[in-house]
Amino acid sequence: MVWQVTREAPGGAGECGVSGSSPRLMGILNVTPDSFSDGGEFFSVESALEHALALLDEGAEILDVGGESTRPGAEPVPQEEEQRRVLPAIRAVLDARPGAKISVDTYHAQTAEAALEEGASIVNDVTALRGDERMASVVAGAGCEVVLMHMLGEPRTMQRDPRYEDVVREVRDFLRERVDYAVGCGIDPGRIILDPGIGFGKTVEHNLELLRRLDEICELGFPVLVGTSRKRFIGTITGVQTPKERLFGTVATTVLAYERGASIFRVHDVRANREALDVARMLLIGERGG
């Protein structure tokens, strides 16, 4: 089954997932000791809050709070430890900014449930509801938004010689199947966001092909989230090995993904990506006659 969903973008600017609509920036808040780019920097509640407020002030509409690294080779974290990391951060942000929109980056139903009780309103599940059999019912019961992401394998193994016959077709078919599963579990299709999983079980060429043909993913009719920020494939192309120095390559992928229909962008560097998207949006609006 193909589900077609139309949503108004923030401010009523148009349909999400269509070039020219208002993009949504999701700022990354990793409260982990081992994330690939900023592990350990925001591990304390105080540093996490300071960074969260900076991301919001720079224009992030959503904060994605994660307590387990999903970098290639990362080991899983017990749910209790994940909750010990993310829940105080969520609580602190919402105490400081009650209107902030929080996403919890987890595939554990218990963590999602606790985060939603604290005030989170999006579950960002890198397993697309496969990692915990209770997750779909938690999301359906809460009526929250959910991000369904494609990942080949799991973080520990996903970059060990990933292969596809046609990466775009296979990712698209997977996402369509997960949408059908989610809706069958009672999740409102109007609350579903899709993520092709750039860098999750993909080679450099797989990532580039997904970005080139991103419109084929957007044709499924759901808002599409793209997360390329500071990723290794950008460093492979540019020769920049330090993740924090991959900003310029990240901005290029953000703008191109927006032109191809993506509407949500998960980034570390909010201001640079926001300004690039502001310019791109005005150009696309003019190109399409307002």
**Amino acid letter at 153?**
G
Q: Give every CB contact of residue 47 below 8 A, 6+ residues apart in sequence.
A: 41
Name the active-site residue from 213, 266, 274, 281: 266
* 231 among known catalytic residues: yes
User: How many C-beta atoms surround the C-beta of residue 190 within 10 A?
Assistant: 12
- Burial readout 113-145 (b: 16 or more C-beta within 10 A, e: otherwise): bbbbebebbbbbbbbbbbbbeebbbbbbebebb
* 266 among known catalytic residues: yes
How far is the CA of 4 from the CAs of 1, 22, 180, in angstroms? 10, 19, 12
Handedness of CA 92, 95, 97, 101 (dihedral sign): positive
Name the active-site residue from 231, 246, 260, 281: 231
**Amino acid letter at 33?**
P
Contact predicate 53/89, CB 8 Å: no
Residue (of 257, 280, 282) closest to 267 by Cα position: 257
Radius of gyration of the chain (CA): 17
* Residues tagged active-site: 231, 266
